[in-house]
Amino acid sequence: MSNSNVRTCPSDPIPEYAFIGRSNVGKSSLINMLMQKKSLAKTSGRPGKTQLINHFRINDNWFLVDLPGYGYARVSKRDKKTFQKYITDYFKERVQLVCAFVLIDIRHEPQKVDLEFLEWMGENQIPFALIFTKADKLKPQVIQKQADKYINALLDGIWEDAPQYFITSSSNNLGREEVLEFIGGINDEFFKATAAK
C-alpha cells in the first residue's frame, strides 16, 4: 500500500519498521536485499525516487515501511515541503511504529543533515537504529573507522549512549541476518506483550 497521508496508512495492529535516509543512500537496494526480492522497492540512479509512504506486509506479522529520503532530491520546493511534512507526521502519529532504521552511506564523513535528523528523532523520542550502507565500497580496515566517526559525532552531541547499528552491503548480503534477527527479537517481545494483555 502506498500513501501520502499518514491517516490512510494500514490500521493493522502489527509492528512496523520504517527505513529512511538521505536520498541515494541505497535504501531500495537494502530493502530488496533484506527481503531477497529484486524489485520490491524501486531502485533508481536518480535521487528522490521514493515519494510516498510505502507499506510492505512481511509474513503477515510485520510491516516494512519505505519512506521518502530527506535532504537532496530533484523535486520542487513545494513538493519537498510536502514530503517533509508527511515524514514528520508519520513519525509523530504512527502508533504501530516500533523502530526506525536510519540509513547512512558509510563512505562519507558525518553529514550535518543526518546528525540533525537523528537529533530530531531523539528529541521526539522515536526509537531508531542506524544502518550503514555500501560497506563493500570500502576496505575492511576502513569500515569500522567510518562507523566510529558517526558514533563519536553523536556522542559529542546530545547522546549519552550510542545507538544500535548495523554494517551492511546490498551487493553481498552483509548484515542481512543481523538486521532480520534484530527485527525478529523485537517482534517476539511485541507479540508476547500483546498476548499478555
pLDDT, mean of residues 127-156: 95
Domain residue extents for the chain: 2-196
How far is residue 114 from each of residues 121, 132, 141, 196, measured CA to CA in Å?
A: 11, 12, 24, 38
**pLDDT digits 0-9 by tens, 47-82:** 444 568 899 999 999 999 999 887 644 445 554 555
**Contact (CB, 8 A) for 186 and 179:** no
Q: Is the pTM of this model over 0.85?
A: yes
Q: Tell me what pLDDT residue 48 has.
A: 45
**pLDDT digits 0-9 by tens, 181-196:** 999 999 999 999 988 8
Please tell me the CATH superfamily of domain 2-196, with its number.
Answer: P-loop containing nucleotide triphosphate hydrolases (3.40.50.300)
